[in-house]
Structure 1
Amino acid sequence: MILYSTNHQSDDVSLEEAVFRGLPPDNGLYMPHVIPTLPASFFEKIDTLSISEIAFEVSKALLGDDIPEEDIKTIVERAIDFDAPLVALEKDTYVLELFHGPSMAFKDFGARFMASLMSYFLQKSQKDIHILVATSGDTGGAVAQGFYKTPGIKVTILYPTGKVSDIQEKQLTTLGENVTALEVDGTFDDCQALVKAAFLDKELSSKINLASANSINISRLIPQSFYYFNAYAQLKKAGNTKPVVFCVPSGNFGNLSAGLIAQKMGLPVKMFVAATNVNNIVPKYLSSGNYEPKPSQETISNAMDVGNPSNFIRMRLLAGDAHEEVVKHIAGDFSDDTATRAAMKDVYERTQYVMCPHTAVAYLGLKSYTDTLSEEVAGVLLSTAHYAKFLDVVEETLGTSVAIPERLSALLSKEKVAIPMTKEFSNFKEYLLSL
């Protein structure tokens, strides 16, 4: 796999270099020159394959020029050892549950695959690296779990103070070992700006082998494509022949970009719906053609509180670049907290299904789009995190207590360990150089 920078001011690189660099020197994002199309035979048999078997076939097509087949199999089997079931919610409406991994969020797919891939390359090169990751909620927990005690890798996670749930914060701050949490006095955008600035700082890059585990890293997007194929496989196995619509609750837009990669590889998708909260920069772009980033606003769907999505350029390029092409593949919708809470309560009262706020935003986005169609479709909304990670909001909204998985409840009694950090890059740089 040969990758280029979206800013076109840096040299092309190999997969290994892209994985460890994270960001190109010109501050673009890495994108593959070629995305292969999977053969028709793969889709003919896809309903007979497990998610790990699907992941292997997709990885082999993308990475086969860089990594031997047997090593790809090992990487996949180490990373994708949990399922992503498709649950029927209503007629022609399905929830793709992506929270059955260790941190109970969809980002387990990307973080575990990335850790496995990095370990493979590090064993060959005998290098050490320091991973920096900004999180608005679930990324940090998934990265912490994915890289915990991985030889040769230090992890520093930056999160905005007061803007992640209690359980999310405990997932970031209670592991220790090679994982350190920095509690930043600012927003997620401030955390993300610190990480980007660190990668572009020549003094830091000359003294520390920095790598990123945010969705800006291409190795995060590759495994996130797996569950789109797996959802299609489950629909096919159930006898569905209707066109498929995916609704993706979106913050940094890595998840939707991964879906577009799957579509480019041949997955039949009628439409993607980009569903956001009031941080609706992309839905506004889709309706107007104007992309206007702005400071993020705090909402109950906090993992989507992003005012300048890093993956917007990837999403746009994968969907055809020009606005008139992009809207052929992606529709947009957004919901405020009042509508989100109403959807959570309505679905629970009618079906007893408990949704986290992000899942509710996706539910509303899917309904908003499918209600405009004259044809029947199979609507799949992505549930990106277990509802218990947002316990206060869920129980307050539903007016009842809900069950908490033991692996999450056990976190609440653990002591938080986090280092306070300002949003000034000079302070962050001083901290990194002192390690």
Structure 2
Amino acid sequence: MRYISTRGEAPALGFEDVLLTGLATDGGLYVPESLPHFSLEEIRSWRGLSYSELAFNVMHPFVDDAIPADDFRKMLDETYSVFSHKAVAPLVQLDSNEWVMELFRGPTLAFKDFALQLLGRLLDYVLEKRKQHVVIMGATSGDTGSAAIEGCRRCEHVDIFILHPYERVSEVQRRQMTTVKGDNIHNIAVRGNFDDCQRMVKESFGNQGFLGGKTQLAAVNSINWARIMAQIVYYFQASLALGGPDRSMAFSVPTGNFGDIFAGYLAKKMGLPISQLVIATNRNDILHRFMSGNKYEQHKLEHTLSPSMDIMVSSNFERLLFDLHGRDGQAVKTLLENAAKGPVSIEDYRWRHARKLFDSDAVDDKSTCDTIREIHEQNEYLLDPHTAIGVRAARNCRRDRSVPMITLGTAHPAKFPDAVAESGVTVKPQLPAHMADLFEREERYTVLDNNIAGVQEFIARHWKNA
């Protein structure tokens, strides 16, 4: 399996190099040169498999011979054995044909654990094999940071620097990052927003001279292909649990950076019958405005009750644009250069092709709270604000009620108690036992100005072998 850049100018790489590289040298994102395709008969034969067994079948073609099959199976068994539910990604029924897939049963209570628990093990394996040290630099709007730290904190060959927007993540999200002890763990609170943090990460990958040539950066954000690869699996899991592949499924996905829903798009291209993908966003609705009106235009970022989606520049959207433009890297590069200057659109026939699969909705804070309250009143079931946006968007955009609609439950409600309280629900969501003392743990983080030179200087000074 070889991987190519969405901007067409970087060399093709194998899995190991893509794992460690993050952004391509031309500024693009890596995607497989070709996708594996599974027949309905093959998918049907996977019914009854454990989650880790299913994960092996779906992901092994992407890893290919970079990791021996037995080693990869062991890695997957270890990854998903730490989840708190035997099904790993259990389904909860809300209505007659409406479901939530709980993706928050991992150690940091968010869907990012599915990929980042695996990514830590992949990095350990490859870096030990190469006797190489790397510096992880990542940006988080709330959940990626804690999942990355938890997944990578035991890696012997890694230093971790996670940037988060100062005072713009929930207290639980912040403490999950800043209370983890380890000499190789560094949390940086940037006086800015998530897009500022993400921009610093991208620019740093493009020019790593501040590291003095002594090490290289590795990515944990969803620009890293391994993140996308791991997220494809639970689309297959949900479908098989509800009668797939002999019936089609619809999914509603709360998304800011487009990685999670892009994984669903890939699942469909790999042979899984999916009839609809709903892009569920908050007031930071650049994806909704594009999908509903073919206009890609950045607005001012707003702070909402769903901070993990407070994103205006959706990195993984580039991967979809690459496909929509017939995998023409130069066309994607030109489009994104123009998008940095002002609003852009794509050819109408390309946009209409995307609309055959995708719908979208933007849900404000009031509707988010209304949905949390309504679902709790109807089912005594508590949603976090991001999942609530997914449920509301699913109900607003649903095309066919005979098709199961599955909303991806992206985070545990205990991570967002303020949003739950604002909804009027009087039940306070409780942290699980392994986090019961979270508010008593000592925090460690450094507040820095929204200045890339200062952030890079901090990293250069604090990584292990500096």
TM-score by length of 2: 0.89
What is the match of residue 439 of structure 2? 412
Aligned to 1:160: 165
Closer/same/farther in 2, CA of residues 241 and 91 from structure 1, 3 Å limit:
farther
Question: Is 1:402 the equivalent of 2:428?
Answer: yes
Q: Quick one: which amino acid aligns to residue 415 of structure 1?
A: E
Q: Which residue of 2 aligns with 1:101?
A: 106
Q: What is the CA distance between 1:22 and its match in structure 2?
A: 0.4
Q: Displacement, 1:319?
A: 6.1
SS in 1 for 2:99: strand
Q: CA-to-partner distance for each residue in 1:158-183, whole Å, 9 max, x for gaps?
A: 00111111111011101121211001
Equivalent residues of 1:257, 1:311 under 8 A apart = yes
Q: Name the residue aligned to 1:345.
A: 373
Distance in 1 separating the partners of 2:180 and 2:400: 51
- Which residue of structure 2 aligns with residue 217 of structure 1? 224
Q: For the residues of structure 2 that align with 1:118 and 1:3, how far apart are their CA atoms?
A: 18
2:333 aligns to what?
A: none
State the distance in 1 between where 2:413 and 2:47 align. Answer: 29
Partners of 1:368 and 1:399 in 2: CA distance: 23
Shift of 1:26: 1.2
Residue pairs, 1:95-174, within 5 angstroms? 95-174=100-179
Alignment: residue pair count: 431
Q: Structure 2 vs 1, CA of residues 374 and 63 (structure 1 numbering), >3 Å: closer, same or farther?
A: closer
Compared CA separation, residues 175 and 41, structure 1 to 2 (3 A): same
**Residue 241 (structure 1) shift:** 5.9
- Deviations 1:20-73 (CA, angstroms, capped at 9, x unpaired): 110111111111111110243331223211111110101222222432211221
Counterpart Cα distance in 2 of 1:285 and 1:86: 30
Structure 1 range deviating more: 419-428 or 196-205? 196-205
Q: Distance in 1 between matches of 2:300 and 2:278?
A: 23
Residue 419 of structure 2: aligned partner: 393
Q: 1:372-430 CA deviation, whole Å, 9 max, x = no partner? A: x3552100000100000001221232341324122233211112110111111111121
* 1:355-434 matches, cutoff 5 A: 355-370=383-398, 373=399, 376-404=402-430, 405-434=432-461
Which stretch of the first structure deviates more once superposed, 255-264 or 377-386?
255-264
Structure-1 residue corresponding to 2:210:
204
Cα distance in 1, alignment partners of residues 402 and 93 from structure 2? 16
Deviations 1:102-126 (A, max 9, x none): 0010000110111111111112101
Q: Does 1:327 align with 2:355?
A: yes
Amino acid at match of 1:224: Q
User: For 2:387, what is the secondary structure of its paired residue?
Assistant: helix
Q: Is the 8 A contact 2:2 2:13 kept in 1?
A: yes
Q: How far is the alpha carbon of 1:139 from its aligned partner?
A: 0.5
Cα distance in 2 between the residues matched to 1:47 and 1:90 = 24
Paired AA for residue 45 in structure 2: K
Q: 1:235 aligns with which of 238, 242, 251?
A: 242
Distance 1:351 1:294 in 2: 37
Q: Which amino acid is the alignment partner of residue 200 of structure 2? A: L
Q: Is the 8 A contact 2:15 2:62 kept in 1?
A: no
Q: Matches of 1:55 and 1:138 in 2, distance apart? A: 22
Change over 3 Å in CA distance of 1:225–1:320 after alignment to 2: farther
- The offset of 1:202, in angstroms, is 4.0
Seen in structure 2, the aligned counterparts of structure 1 residues 318 and 114 have a Cα distance that, compared at 3 Å, is farther
Q: Is the 8 A contact 1:94 1:378 kept in 2?
A: yes
Q: Deviations over 1:318-342 (max 9, x none)?
A: 5676212211121111100011111
Q: Residue 249 of structure 1 aligns with which residue? A: 254
Aligned partner letter, 1:21: T
How many angstroms does 1:317 deviate by?
A: 3.5
> What residue in structure 2 maps to residue 187 of structure 1?
193
Q: SS in structure 2 opposite 1:236?
A: coil
| CA apart distance, 1:347 | 0.9
Is 2:44–2:240's contact at 8 Å kept on the other side of the alignment? Answer: no
The normalised TM-score by structure 1 is 0.95
From 247, 268, 279, the counterpart of 1:274: 279
Looking at structure 2, the residues matched to 320 and 80 of structure 1 have their Cα atoms a distance apart, in angstroms, of 36
C-alpha contact (below 8 Å) 1:184/1:423 kept by paired residues: yes
The whole-number CA distance in structure 2 between the counterparts of 1:78 and 1:325 is: 40
SS at match of 2:274: coil
In 1, the alpha carbon distance for the partners of 2:121 and 2:252 equals 28
Cα distance in 2, alignment partners of residues 408 and 194 from structure 1 = 31
Alpha-carbon distance in 1 for matches of 2:112, 2:324:
22
SS in 1 for 2:47: helix
Pair 1:15 & 2:15 matched: yes
1: CA distance between counterparts of 2:429 and 2:449? 36
Which runs of 5 or more structure 2 residues have no equivalent in the other structure? 327-349
Structure 1 counterpart of 2:404, one-letter code: A
Query: Could you tell me how far 1:315 is from its partner in structure 2?
Result: 2.8
Distance of 1:65 and 1:350 partners within structure 2: 50
The CA distance in 1 between the partners of 2:45 and 2:295, in whole Å, is 42
SS at match of 2:408: strand
SS of the residue aligned with 2:454? helix
Name whichever of 265-274 and 290-299 sits farther off.
290-299
Cα distance between partner residues in 2 of 1:160 and 1:389: 17
Q: How far, CA to CA, are the matches of 1:433 and 1:144 in structure 2?
A: 19
Taking a change above 3 Å as real, the CA distance of residues 39 and 286 of structure 1, as seen in their structure-2 partners, is same
